[in-house]
Chain A
Amino acid sequence: AQKITQTQPGMFVQEKEAVTLDCTYDTSDPSYGLFWYKQPSSGEMIFLIYQGSYDQQNATEGRYSLNFQKARKSANLVISASQLGDSAMYFCAMREGILTGGGNKLTFGTGTQLKVEL
């Protein structure tokens, strides 16, 4: 089974609108972390936001927020007030074993290509 599933290969959003990028995950580990990265055409992976499995509140970082639904094993990224510069590939990733300190591998999904239009 896939550990990280991103079911939207491509998404379009109009400038200034909000958009939600879906991510579901599969793990039996009680301590894990969920990450979102942005990859523009330059190729560099840019960290956006992090959510720990034991965090009580949903993570927010500026225009990015993470809609974490633990029971459903989903960690959707919400981008508010989209900008043209948000056009990029977005990857959801998971690291297991967060609290035991043993986790070091990130497992990535296949990504969602976001296009922001005027």
Chain B
Amino acid sequence: GAGVSQTPSNKVTEKGKYVELRCDPISGHTALYWYRQSLGQGPEFLIYFQGTGAADDSGLPNDRFFAVRPEGSVSTLKIQRTERGDSAVYLCASSTSSGGTGELFFGEGSRLTVL
């Protein structure tokens, strides 16, 4: 498909487990963003990649959260020792450039439920 693809669409896990969420951006988009959306809230910024490097990770809530983008396209958000408060929809977005007026193209999200 031509859009941003996220897998899995749904993930249920137990407290304390490790989780990986994958994002495949639109081909050619150099900028990639991760957001977290809790129930009834707007998306909250987590981390932004320009190419392979994390240009801004100021939104990551703590050191249990980590993200990589080793080849500058697909990104993986990794959550260690999951907690019930991590339950949310994790949205990935990509754009053609960093900053500026470029719109973000979002995927449909990965819904994470931590029991």
Contact = CB atoms under 8 A, between A and B. Distances in A.
Interface of A: 4, 33, 35, 37, 42-47, 50, 52, 91, 93, 95, 97-98, 101-111
Given A43-B89, A47-B103, A103-B100, A109 B56 contact: no
A111 B41 CA distance: 7
Interface residues of B, number: 29
B101 A105 contact: no
9 contacts: A43-B91, A45-B106, A46-B106, A103-B99, A103-B100, A104-B98, A106-B45, A108-B43, A111-B41
Contacts of A104: 31, 33, 48, 50, 55-56, 98-99
B109 interface: yes
B100 to A, nearest CB: 6
B85 interface: no
Best-buried of B33, B40, B43, B50 by chain A (most CB within 10 Å): B43
